[in-house]
Structure 1
Amino acid sequence: MKPTSIKKKIRGMKKKARRLSSWTEYHKQLDIESLLKHEKEYVKIWIKPFYNLYQINSKTWGRKNPSYKFRKQVFNQLIEIYLAWEDKLKELKEPYYLKIWLADPEFMDSQVVAAIGSEIEYYQNLFEHNKESKESPFSPKHPNLDQFKWDRCVNGYYVWESDLEIIEEINEIRKKAYRINEVIIDGKIERSYFIYTGDMWTGYIQGNDNLT
């Protein structure tokens, strides 16, 4: 099957916008049973066709960002999901982690994440803060937006050197790497390369039990 070019226009955006409310109502229902079992829950923006993989060029694949207007609409819905989950988490009467992750420019990485118990520390230390100040690229008109505190963090992914087959691939990844880590596994040094993709804005409402 011929790959879909990222330049292909997406039609039916008004219909997709109308369906957002149904998507939100479904995900506002926090699965407490799953949360207690796994100590974490999240909702990603698995909205077709944006979450599909598109061909950017002959060597690169990626996801297609929605229009800025649609992104603001999705952002509003993430806030609604956050607020609904916050009410449920407060009922547990125990510490929790709850944040909106808002990715820029890789918007399709955005999600709402909740954690309890031993998973809290993992998520608290997951992102590296970006020390350079910058205004958030999104400004939706939501009545609760002013309650949120936003931290600018570093977004990206890891590539393990052992997964690369030839020296040319290693050299190319090394040039792109934002950070190189080394760990010892079975007595051997294993390198991983962190590839920077942009910002991850993490937003939350401060509270007595929200350990963010």
Structure 2
Amino acid sequence: MLLKVKYCSIKKYIKLHSGFTYSEFIREVKNKFGLPDDAAQLHIFDETDTAVEEDILLELLEGNPDFCLTVRDSISDEDHSTPSSLTDTLSLSSSESDFRELGIPTGRNRSNKEDRSSSATKASVSEAAKEMVEKALLKKPGGEDILEEYKSENSLKHRTRRQLVNILASDMTESHGRIPSRQQKEKYALGIITLFPTLKDPFSPKGYV
């Protein structure tokens, strides 16, 4: 299995056997780029600059073998800038952290005037956002599994929520560039809670801000 990897602006192919482990990937990267075995911990990012963690690396590459992964010594190295800013943990009881993963503002100090709009307009906007998120999931590997899990469980597991974030962050940057506007981010957030109502934050006026 050939994989494309970028380190310090240099791209190279590395070769790994099918079903490789995370440690084997890291070891091969160090070997290919001449890094010492005791080098600082390496961090992996996909093409949308979303952090790729150990438990999803193999699954991600099996579904997207043409990805060029970026490896850095630090999460703050070089050109690391992402609307998703994936962190190590996701809340299982509230969707707020999920929206933060996508770079969606979660402040709750907006005025009542800003939140007011007609029911008809809200319904129309919500439906459009829902369709956008659903289409994004249906065209990406693993998206249908997310929809099926929610349909059967009326909820999403920790791992599935992270996959949802990765897919939508990827779609957002593909559609709107590396720095989407606040309005674009909030449309994705609205789409998430409309398509997956149980992810709605019960303590915020809109369910996500």
> TM-score, normalization: structure 1?
0.28
Q: Kindly indicate which of the two structures has a greater share of residues assigned to helix.
A: 2
